[in-house]
A and B are shown apart, each in its own frame.
Chain A
Amino acid sequence: MKKITLSGISKSFGGSRALENVDLTFESGKIYGLLGRNGAGKTTLLKILYGILYPSSGRVLSDDKEIRINDNFLGNLFYVGEPDYFPVETSLRKLFSETKYFRPEFDTEYALSLTSLFGLDSSKSLRSLSTGQRTLFKDILALSSGASFIFLDEPILGLDANRRDILYRTILGKYNESPFTIVISTHLIEEISSIVEHVIILHEGRVVRDEPLDSLLASGYSVSGKKDAVRKYISGKSVMGIDALGGFECAYILGARQENGHQDELEFGRLSLQKIFVQMTGSKGGDDK
């Protein structure tokens, strides 16, 4: 399977719309970052892909052919998310062997090696693990699954900085060994910007950005300096947003950098993924929905 396409996917829960007419393609051998505020529809999207939820409308295509979500299709995918769908009283080792029972390509040895790398005790039950350890267990399961498309929903939930760092290096190591598609949905945007190649931003159930990270970061720039100078510079330009701090301002501008007479008083910089995300999805404190 070379790619999975979602075409016109919508999903409603009662009267509330979680996804609206989503068109997306996940190609093989890429690391995707799926970003969105709370309630933007990220988890719903991933659950639809894995057959946990059914879309209200729309189609799922595999290599441009419309498919029914069956065992063969799901055998190429692996999804782990925040809820524990595993029997919590079972030991990690047993869960590995039960997963292997259904997915012969599951690499138990690799799973056990990651378990010791992260300092987990495989004889312990899932119930006895902390939030971070459970997250790690699910990440290990996904990375050992042998699936060609892996969907990680909040894969760093509850992890300390050291373990997050080991996890990123493990993902990249595995990816370099044999490229697979990995879709990471997280709120720690800056951290994953160092490993993702392609970014999808969801906002209020719609895709607002779907492009390679480099192109997204090159789509604009920031300019900062004294308020008056910044205001003069940005006049007539496409401004995503402005941060103000005392008499200073930092403006985020879309498009290529243009020279004009005010640039001596100003400082120019690259856009960061987090800034782009915040500017695109609004700065309200509450959830989107």
Chain B
Amino acid sequence: MKLKPTLRFIMGDISIKIIPLYYLASICLYSALYFTGDTSGLAAPDVFGSLLASSFFLIFVLTAMTANRSLRFLVQVGISRDTIIVANLLRAVILSAAISMADRLLSLYMTFLTGGFSQKYIDPVTEFGVSDSCFPYYLLFEFSLGFGCILFMILLALFCSMIWIRLKLLYKLLFLILSLFIVIIYTDTYYGIDFIAESVGYDPLMTAVVIFVFFFGSALISYILSARRVPVRD
């Protein structure tokens, strides 16, 4: 299997080089907003939400630019579908993890700019106002939100690949529904893992694992089965 050159080829696409530029531009933009005194739009939760939205868009555009182009060239030079699928899966995982992590770091930077790490509260003993620092790593590695985002982005990346390599509408819809399910379950605090775990009477972690295996596994299998036979666009 010529996996290494294939992965290197699809990761080395010119569009991938947009990612660092995108984050550099984001940092410059938010810093400019901060230094011009306009911090109203920089509240951490809002920023994180908009970061996610723009990252999804970024993944969509990146995949749109590369998926079909890569597929055509790789097929032309004699790379099998199996190799292309495995390389695309790895690419989706690497890109999604990198983008999710970059989003969290950018969000931390925003939080730092807006002073969000310092929380003021009244000391019950002295009754004076006291500032305390949040532990930023908690925000970075907090389980459900970050995990949900990574999963969702992986699915989105694969979904985009499917769109651009002309799969059947049924597969596309299935993927979209599964992606939405996953993001709701892993990120929504009300209808999320805790709610489902409580409803079925299981441990929340076990519930999360079962849901992950079921939805994510079925999404991957449907991707692999369908992508294996998709025709190359002339």
Contacts and interface: CB of A to CB of B under 8 A. Distances in A.
Chains A and B form a bound pair: yes
A268 interface: no
A102 B1 contact: no
Nearest to B13: A87
B80 interface: yes
B78 A50 contact: yes
Contacts of B234: 82-83
Interface string A86-121: 110000000000110111000000000000000000
Given A70-B1, A102-B2, A52 B79 contact: no
Contacts of B232: 52-53, 85
Helix, strand, loop or mixed for chain A's interface? loop
B77 A99 contact: yes
Interface stretch (B17-25, B68-76, B122-130, B207-215): B68-76
Contact of B75 (A51, A87, A98, A101): A51
B78 A103 contact: yes
A74 interface: yes
Q: For chain B, which range describes its interface: under 10, 10 to 19, 20 to 34, or 35 or more residues?
A: 20 to 34
A207 to B, nearest CB: 23
A74 B73 contact: no
B80 A71 contact: yes
Contact of A69 (B5, B76, B80): B80
18 contacts: A50-B75, A51-B81, A54-B229, A69-B80, A70-B1, A70-B83, A71-B79, A71-B80, A74-B79, A74-B80, A80-B76, A85-B73, A86-B76, A87-B69, A98-B73, A101-B9, A102-B5, A102-B74
Given A80-B76, A82-B234, A102-B5, 9 more contacts: A69-B80, A70-B82, A71-B1, A71-B83, A75-B78, A77-B78, A86-B72, A98-B9, A102-B74
